[in-house]
Structure 1
Amino acid sequence: MSANCVSAAPTSPKNSDVEEIRKSATYHSSVWGNHFLSYTSDVTEITAAEKEQLEKLKEKVKNLLAQTPDESTGKMELIDAIQRLGVGYHFTTEIQESLRQIHEGQIRNDDDDVRVVALRFRLLRQGGYRAPCDVFEKFMDDGGNFKESLKKDVEGMLSLYEASYYGIDGEEIMDKALEFSSSHLESMLHNISTKTNKSLLRRLQEALDTPISKAAIRLGATKFISTYREDESHNEDILNFAKLDFNILQKMHQEEANYLTRWWEDLDLASKLDFARDRMVESYFWSLGVYFQPQYRTSRIYLTKIISIVAVIDDIYDVYGSFDDLRSFTDVIQSWKISNADELPPYMRICFEALLGIYEDMGDRIGAPYAIDTMKELVDTYMQEAEWCYTEYVPTVDEYMKVALVTGGYLMVATTFLTGINNITKKDFDWIRNRPRLLQVAEVLTRLMDDIAGHGTEKKTTAVSCYMKEYECSEMEASRELSKQVKKAWKDLNDEWMEPRSSSAEIIGCIVNMSRVLHIMYSTGDDGFSDSSTRTTQAVKTLLVDHPMN
């Protein structure tokens, strides 16, 4: 919505004013078109030989996990490798039991090795344990700073850096660990010879770009497979298992992309509503980042369809619709009756009918009514933002955030995805509908990342513009202050992930993983969904197009 607003209280716009301030936007066309129609069943077929080989390798890795003592550094390194290679989901029970043993024992025979201490800390916090951060105190000098001698240990610095991102609010030592390790690693990055240390250079760049805590597992695995292969101590069975698992899952995901492309082509919204973003494949990438495992296919299908349509609806409110049309569209969606669609102009009726079709596919699933309610709420807040735009009203930061946390769509996305999971109960949906702290934190994180990235590139009200207006400061100052809130939100997500948890690991993981996907889309300061032609396209290519791992 328009950022060129005044602070007068909002009033209803006159019809004569509507067309004058009707907006326009130019979005690039789909990068992918019908590319995934080429992934036919003969291309995506998983052979019996592949399945048999996967099971054989899985058994070998499982035996290796069982035979490696929990009290050893080797066990922690093994767990770390398995998780970062993207195959940890095969050994959830075994890994959880090992981490329980490590947590209860808190083995300290390696306590003088910052690499090992940081690795243990990170693995335990990744596993939901409230590992104490005071284990790092022995690495600090009398002045309360990390010892300069640690800088000589490159692997130790990398391990400390990755661990530092698992801190929670109020843990000053973890803030110091991040500042100390990141500044040293950045310094190293500029002094490493590209000829003699290509592998280390790449590892440093990847870590500084996206730490493990913020990385989408599947994307992270594609990078770590190369890193692990170069490690002279790597286990060949683990490496081969990870590569084969990646290839098999890629075929499954290509088949899903093929199905969704056919669905999107049949709707033909891209040509009928050419003012809107055509981002079906990017929407699938989003859903793939939430959970990539085979059992979540239905959830990925639901979520991809909904995000694809919601992107169009968002553009109707932000870009194309007149105020009166938007009011009618909002009323029809609140009614949720196809018979009322006749009141709408053709472009809105097409969109509403497509939306209803997706929810009809959900049938009598427990989450369907909840998913519908979140969609109604989302559209209602889109209308509120439209009123701000047409009245040129700049809300206070608090006013804006109350509405914008909903228009960020986090509750709608989470509820839609969970609707596709069979074991999610009514109690679970009631819990998330009440917006627990976990969801509130994720909503703030998402909204602010989006607004910081999108401010200035879209003519709409953002948290940045509201902050600038309310506190009479520059864009740089506003962005800096809001970025502090983003950093705190990541810490709060860490806090919610650890025991005692407010819900199941599956539900919390769903919400946390959404934040990781959005970090990929917004972390470089631009909107990787609306403008998906560079970074997001490369990510999609890595997961769905590039040739299988050899």
Structure 2
Amino acid sequence: MSSATSASQPIAYFHPTRWGDQFLEFTPLDKATQLEKVQEVEHLKEEVRKELLARVANVNKQLELLNFVDAIERLGLAYYLEKEIEEALLQVYETYHDQCDKDDLYHVSTRFRILRQHGYHVSCDVFKKFKNDQGGLDDCILNDTRGILSLYEASHVRIHGDDILDEAIAFTTTHLKLIVDKLSSPLAEQVVHALHQPLHLGFVRLESKHYIGFYEQDASHNKTLLNLAKLDFNLLQLLHRKELQDIDSWWKDLYSKAPFARDRLVEAHFWILGCYYEPKYCRARQILIKLFMIVEVFDDIFDAYGSHEILKLFVEAVHRWDYSYVAQLPEYFNSVYQVLLETLDGFEKELAEEGRSYGVQIYKEQFYRGCKAWLREAGWLKKKYTPKYDEYLEASIVSIGQIQGIIGSYLGITEPIATKEDFEWVCQDPMPKVVEASLMIIRLLNDIASTKIEQDSRDHVVSSVQCYMKETGITDEQHVYQVLEKKVEDAWKDLNQGMLRPYSIPKPLLDRIINLARAPEIFYKGRTDGFTIVNQIIQDKIASLLFEPIPI
């Protein structure tokens, strides 16, 4: 490594990858078996489509339709039937109040959650009928555990002003915790899982893996749906493993140039599968994983290496985007800088052939913006300066890399193609509320999870925790965590609001914004940084999604 590294700089130690090369050790299906499986999927998919359309046609049995759509979505199969599901939900929406007036808590909650998740601004007043004269939930529903669990899940799609859902999430959480030990299987396991990972805050694919197990234990399950879900999961798992295998040599080459960085390729791939897992986004994932790993390496450089003066030189190099600057940077900077240039220029050339290189140009601008934010934070560290909370957030919600992740996630999407106006809408100043909320969620959860270990182990720029404590005079760190977690809850309300119709940009692009906000809810759960220090819980989730097929 270059002698240009300042000896006074803090050196971080990141543990090696937990995975070794085990993700490379798999045998793909032979062509004949692959074809057979794909044909079986097509057959089952058509059977499910016919069943769904039959339920849409039978307007007198809407509960059957609602339950069928819910099962399709929770089993991870919605991407096969997007048009048909929209048709079904339009029917559900048009009879919303009439149906809710006569339905039980389970179905009112399920209908509300699904319609909200599909952008319909339906009223939460439908839950008032379950309240007693004192304003609490009526005694008649206290024994309806299935209904209370459904209400708990529905409460997570709340927006500002949904006061009844604020009350509901507090009540249902407390109530489910009190009764969970008295429940029998499989409802007990469903409650335990929901309390750990609310459906709305989880990765679609990971939640579908859990739900397949629960659904199979339901005596009334639809066998066609279940068989399709299992087969689909296993086939996609092979695709996702192949993608990981394909990127491995590229990452090893980059990592050899920056061996001080976090070796987290598998975790990053898991993170990106939370953004989009469907086969049609394969190319988009191939692009985003490279951008993700480059940002991670630069984040580690800015976080723990290089003098403030060298960082300034590097930021200028990014601004100029000039290969001639390579020679002016220390070895550990110039080699990674060259990878950055080559990778982005390669994407730009590739997308120029499709008439949409504008996306890469905008990504470059946002990467430069992130570098300036990193440099600003490095200046705070050099001066031992603790900024005001709002001043801190101004830089740190950009430095966290989420805005770059959102823009990067659009580059490879072809259904629909993100227009220049779509990119500009995301990047506008001031930020759209839905974008700002996504950035705020990852920033605050990252700070809560990592601040103690970063501050205790080495010199590190202050986080929102220290900024808030200094500004308010609060000395109880646990109390500050609770304050910031309340701000995360409020950000989710903003995010949920931004996902309602009419959409500001196409729904598939908005979905990336909310899906990328779900990743910190998984990696930073329990106030621990499961990305930097990969714990057993995160390893188990990754193994479940990537390495453990479902027995058929």
Give TM-score scaled by structure 1 length: 0.93
Q: Establish whether residue 78 from structure 1 lines up as the match of residue 73 from structure 2.
A: no
- Alignment partner of 1:331 out of 306, 310, 316: 316
Is the CA contact (8 Å cut-off) linking 1:302 and 1:358 kept in structure 2?
no
Match of residue 454, structure 2, among 442, 455, 458: 458
- The letter for the 2-side match of 1:300 is R
**Structure 1 position 243, deviation (Å):** 0.7
Per the TM alignment, residue 203 of structure 1 is displaced from its structure 2 partner at its CA by 0.5
1:161-200 correspondence runs (5 A): 161-192=152-183, 197-200=184-187
Query: Structure 1 residue runs of 4+, over 4 Å off?
Result: 18-21, 40-46
Q: For residues 41 and 155 of structure 1, do their structure 2 counterparts lie closer, same or farther at Cα, with a shift above 3 Å needed? A: closer
Range 221-230 or range 109-118, more displaced: 109-118
**Residue type matched to 1:545 in 2?**
F
Helix, strand or coil for the counterpart of 2:81? helix
CA distance in 2, matches of 1:109, 1:312: 51
Bigger relative CO (Cα 8 Å, ≥ 6 apart) = 1
Q: Which residue number corresponds to residue 497 of structure 1?
A: 499
Structure 1 residue matching 2:364: 3-state secondary structure:
helix
1:203 maps to which residue?
A: 190
Task: After TM superposition, give the deviation of residue 270 of structure 1 in Å.
Answer: 3.1
Cα offset, 1:493, TM superposition: 1.1
Q: 1:317 to 1:240 in 2, by over 3 A?
A: same
Separation in structure 2 between the aligned mates of residue 33 and residue 328 of structure 1, nearest angstrom: 35
Contact 1:334 1:376 (8 Å CA) reproduced:
yes
C-alpha separation in 2, matches of 1:340 and 1:350: 11
Q: Counterpart amino acid of 2:503?
A: R
Is 1:296 the counterpart of 2:288 in the alignment? Answer: no
Partner of 1:58: 45
Whether 2:403 is the aligned partner of 1:405: answer no
**Is 1:373 paired with 2:365?**
yes
| Aligned counterpart for 1:94 among listed residues 84, 87, 108 | 84
SS in 2 for 1:66: helix
Give the distance between the partners of 1:140 and 1:41, measured in 2 at CA.
55
Distance 1:110 1:133, change over 3 A: closer
Encode CA deviations 1:451-502: one digit per residue, 9 max, x unaligned: 1111211133110110001111121222111111101111111111111222
**Alpha-carbon distance in 1 for matches of 2:234, 2:31:** 10
Distance between the aligned counterparts of 2:199 and 2:229, measured in 1?
A: 18
CA-CA distance at 1:42 after TM superposition: 5.3
Report SS of the residue matched to 1:412.
helix
Contact 1:117 1:135 (C-alpha < 8 Å) held by counterparts: yes
Please tell me the residue identity of whatever aligns with 2:204.
I
Contact map agreement 1:46 1:248 (CA 8 A) in 2: no
SS in 1 for 2:531: coil
Match of 1:28 among 15, 36, 46: 15
- Does the 8 A contact of 1:278 with 1:308 survive in 2? no
When residues 342 and 215 of structure 1 are mapped into structure 2, their CA distance, relative to the original with a 3 A threshold, is same
Contact 2:63/2:107 (8 A) holds in 1: yes
Unaligned runs of 5+ in 1: 1-17
- What is the CA-CA distance between 1:129 and the residue it aligns to? 0.5
Identity %: 34
Task: Name the counterpart of 1:259.
Answer: 246
Once residues 77 and 457 of structure 1 are traced to their aligned partners in structure 2, the CA distance between those partners, rounded to angstroms, is 45
Report the more deviating stretch, 72-81 or 495-504. 495-504
Q: For residues 399 and 484 of structure 1, what CA distance do their matches in structure 2 show? A: 19
Tell me, yes or no, if structure 1 residue 443 matches structure 2 residue 439: yes
Residue 160 of structure 2 aligns to a residue whose secondary structure is coil
CA contact (8 A) 1:38 1:258 kept: no
Asked if 1:228 is matched to 2:215, the reply is yes
Verify: 1:147 aligned to 2:147, yes or no.
no
- Which letter maps to 1:153? D
The whole-number CA distance in structure 1 between the counterparts of 2:270 and 2:323 is: 30
Indicate how the Cα distance of structure 1 residues 440 and 109 shifts in structure 2: closer, same or farther if over 3 A, else same.
closer
Residue of structure 2 aligned with 1:487, choices 489, 492, 499: 489
**What is the Cα deviation at residue 358 of structure 1?**
1.8
Match of 1:360 among 321, 325, 345: 345
Contact 2:295–2:401 (Cα < 8 Å) also in 1: no
| Residue of 415, 420, 433 corresponding to 2:427 | 433
Q: 1:440 to 1:142 in 2, by over 3 A?
A: same
Hey, what does 2:508 align to over in structure 1?
506
Distance 1:321 1:353 in 2: 17
Q: Quick check: 350-359 or 74-83, which moved more?
A: 350-359
Structure 2 letter corresponding to 1:130: H
> 3-state DSSP class of the match of 1:351?
helix
Distance 1:541 1:46, change over 3 A: farther
Secondary structure, counterpart of 1:108 in structure 2: helix
Counterpart position of 1:470? 471
CA distance in 2, matches of 1:97, 1:305: 37
Say whether residues 1:317 and 2:302 are aligned partners. yes
What's the CA shift for 1:409?
1.1
Q: CA RMSD in A?
A: 1.7
Distance 1:45 1:23 in 2: 55
Provide the C-alpha distance between the structure 2 equivalents of 1:105 and 1:412, rounded to a whole number of angstroms: 41
**127 and 341 in structure 1: CA distance in 2 versus 1, 3 angstrom threshold:** same
Change (3 A) 1:39 1:153: same
Alpha-carbon separation, structure 2, partners of 1:300 and 1:465: 36
Contact 1:40–1:255 under 8 Å retained in 2? no
